[in-house]
Structure 1
């Protein structure tokens, strides 16, 4: 009888602990809603409104008692062999998914292992069946992962894979020389796209005597194993407050570098150090120009004129085009109003509105294997809207001199 009493007591204590944990989880989630960090989209789907995960959509799974059972992010990232998400990060992102090392690590091998990037890519003959005979396409090959055997793409005969480690390890010199860590790394679309990033040690301050806006400099490297993209290195200004990214053609500073997958590509990757070497000059000039924008008042009519220059509307445009144009203008006005409340109605707020619209609001069609959130993140890294952002930056700078 004594043993039974002990078991019952233990069971009651465990059950109480489970109930309390469920209540705490519900309370914490409700607190995020109350603080405006997430919003209900309908059903069990929610959208993140703040922080690194801004714009991400996730689903809340509940048990029979209506309590939160799991939070399932629609992240679009791949899974590792053990079922965990193929993502390494130095700070919590994607709702805690992936392998998080608080504060980050300086060891590239640890990053490659935790992010699922510790695999090589080889090319194999492109074969096809013709009238019962297996034939080889002499001018084409397929890229294949060595760990899973998964096909990643069709490439030409001269294509030479740039392996993940040899493509990323040139950044290790920066990690070793400066007080920086690997910030994030991950696998997208089954390994067709991979990325890795570091955060540079110095932050950039815009208008230190005024709005005092902080910009965090990053270096991001992306590799493509599908045959549809290049190996790229970019220097990226990132605003944590609004999660906007931009790369402007500031004088001669190189903010993007790319190389095709050829036999000499690995040696050419060393040239990417020039991109990094110019980054300090780039950010100094960047801060000066952004400060000038922050000190230039801007009327709504002037903002609308900039929008008209970026997205001109022809007089004979179709009704659908006119509707899309009106919706875009309304969305941009909303973002401009929000940014103006934070930093004043200036050319800087206008630029924030335009980059914010392009990064988070503008329609984006994801591929078959990508969610809209991953499509937006990929577009930001690849610089899909850099031309528009750069044009807006130059157009607004003109107003600082008038």
Structure 2
């Protein structure tokens, strides 16, 4: 039997721990020296290069001044006091933001905590030519009135939809149904802002069988860059797997949008019609999902659906074939996991596909985003809605065999 010297082992372990800390310090300082990172005040730093360019993170140090943790802000903006510009009624997956347990029904409090309490103005688009400053008469710029930060270049007819004016139409719903504001925040320096509420009634899929619960949300997004509309979406969300299930269910309305014009606010009031139809949407949604939950499916059928969504040509290059094989493998793993939970059904297949799109599919983040925020933004904006709807319709066809 080998007898270990405890003191020697402890000393070796402690030396290794110290060396790891020093290595973190050296690598972090090297990034600063190379111009990849710069300090912007206190313990906060900003990334200057690569995919994460513009992202702000904090460095936590111990009493000896050594780095304990590097905490990314996940692409979320910060308020004037340095806190994260995000409000939520419960802690988010990243643990950041201003949390009010149980939420609040006060829109002004939400706007303040989330950093959405700013307005947007338009200013002339100017340029230098021949030593003089000229104005582009057909264009203007949107800017934040609190910081002066530029948000986008827009046409002359563009009229900003202010955050409060755009979101307050939901306040009536908050009061009527006794619900609270679920979350609110801004990304890309305030170029995109969002707010959401959770509707009071949950939806049960196959209530007499698997009884899978879906939580209905209403999310509103506003764009201040001139490249997007003001839009309101009804979003089914499954807490078990954190998937968003926004399908084009027959004729039920799931999305409503308006352009930034002088009459936009009056049109936004019509969004209540969308909210009124949300009940119809969820009734139809539950019926179709229940049908999928009662439709058995073979692995070969699942692969046919995958082939329809992501077709592979016979003469595709090896890289494409390898990517296709990796995707199919990931989808198979998800399908197996879902079948253990809800059975080998078309419903499990749909869960696997939405899970892949929401959590695994490659997602290249923008300049000021982490991959996690890029995924969350894609879900909120419905980047994969068409693919999800195609899968939904394709799987519904299996009922008729």
Tell me the TM-score range normalised by the shorter chain. Answer: 0.7 to 0.9
Instruction: Look up the match of 1:153.
Output: 152
The within-5 A match list for 1:207-226 is 207-226=206-225
The within-5 A match list for 1:3-402 is 61=60, 63=62, 69=68, 72-402=71-401
| Counterpart Cα distance in 1 of 2:176 and 2:391 | 36
Change (3 A) 1:287 1:154: same
| Counterpart Cα distance in 2 of 1:377 and 1:316 | 35
| Counterpart Cα distance in 1 of 2:140 and 2:147 | 18
1:158-196 superposed Cα distances (whole Å, 9 cap, x missing partner): 110000000000000100100210000001010000000
1:15-72 superposed Cα distances (whole Å, 9 cap, x missing partner): xxxxxxxxxxxxxxxxxxxxxxxxxxxxxxxxxxxxxxxxxxx999563789995572
| Counterpart Cα distance in 2 of 1:159 and 1:82 | 32
RMSD, matched Cα: 1.8
- Structure 2: give runs of 5+ residues left out of the alignment: 1-56
Q: For structure 1, which segment, 65-74 or 182-191, has the greater mean C-alpha deviation from structure 2 after superposition?
A: 65-74
Instruction: Note if contact 1:75-1:94 (Cα within 8 Å) is conserved in structure 2.
Output: no
Instruction: Note if contact 1:73-1:95 (Cα within 8 Å) is conserved in structure 2.
Output: no
| Counterpart Cα distance in 1 of 2:384 and 2:94 | 27
1:132-181 superposed Cα distances (whole Å, 9 cap, x missing partner): 10111111111000000100011111110000000000000100100210
Instruction: Note if contact 1:306-1:392 (Cα within 8 Å) is conserved in structure 2.
Output: yes
Change (3 A) 1:65 1:298: farther
Instruction: Note if contact 1:160-1:262 (Cα within 8 Å) is conserved in structure 2.
Output: yes
Shift of 1:131: 1.7
Using structure 1 for the length normalisation, give the TM-score: 0.83
| Counterpart Cα distance in 1 of 2:67 and 2:339 | 38
SS of 1:152 mapped into structure 2: strand
Change (3 A) 1:73 1:212: farther
SS of 1:381 mapped into structure 2: helix
Shift of 1:248: 1.5
| Counterpart Cα distance in 1 of 2:331 and 2:66 | 39
Instruction: Note if contact 2:73-2:84 (Cα within 8 Å) is conserved in structure 1.
Output: no
SS of 2:74 mapped into structure 1: coil
| Counterpart Cα distance in 2 of 1:295 and 1:228 | 42
Instruction: Note if contact 2:123-2:140 (Cα within 8 Å) is conserved in structure 1.
Output: yes
Instruction: Note if contact 2:73-2:96 (Cα within 8 Å) is conserved in structure 1.
Output: no
1:338-381 superposed Cα distances (whole Å, 9 cap, x missing partner): 11111111111100000000011101111112211111111111
Shift of 1:334: 1.0
Aligned length: 345
Q: For structure 1, which segment, 118-127 or 360-369, has the greater mean C-alpha deviation from structure 2 after superposition?
A: 360-369
Shift of 1:96: 3.0
| Counterpart Cα distance in 2 of 1:169 and 1:67 | 46
Report 1 or 2 for greater relative contact order, CA contacts < 8 Å, sequence distance ≥ 6: 2
| Counterpart Cα distance in 2 of 1:205 and 1:179 | 21
Change (3 A) 1:149 1:296: same
| Counterpart Cα distance in 2 of 1:66 and 1:126 | 47
| Counterpart Cα distance in 2 of 1:245 and 1:165 | 26
Change (3 A) 1:134 1:60: closer
Shift of 1:73: 3.7
| Counterpart Cα distance in 2 of 1:82 and 1:62 | 20
SS of 2:185 mapped into structure 1: strand
4+ long deviations beyond 2 Å: 58-71
Change (3 A) 1:178 1:350: same
Instruction: Note if contact 1:119-1:146 (Cα within 8 Å) is conserved in structure 2.
Output: yes
| Counterpart Cα distance in 2 of 1:184 and 1:116 | 12
| Counterpart Cα distance in 2 of 1:291 and 1:226 | 41
SS of 1:96 mapped into structure 2: coil
| Counterpart Cα distance in 2 of 1:361 and 1:290 | 23
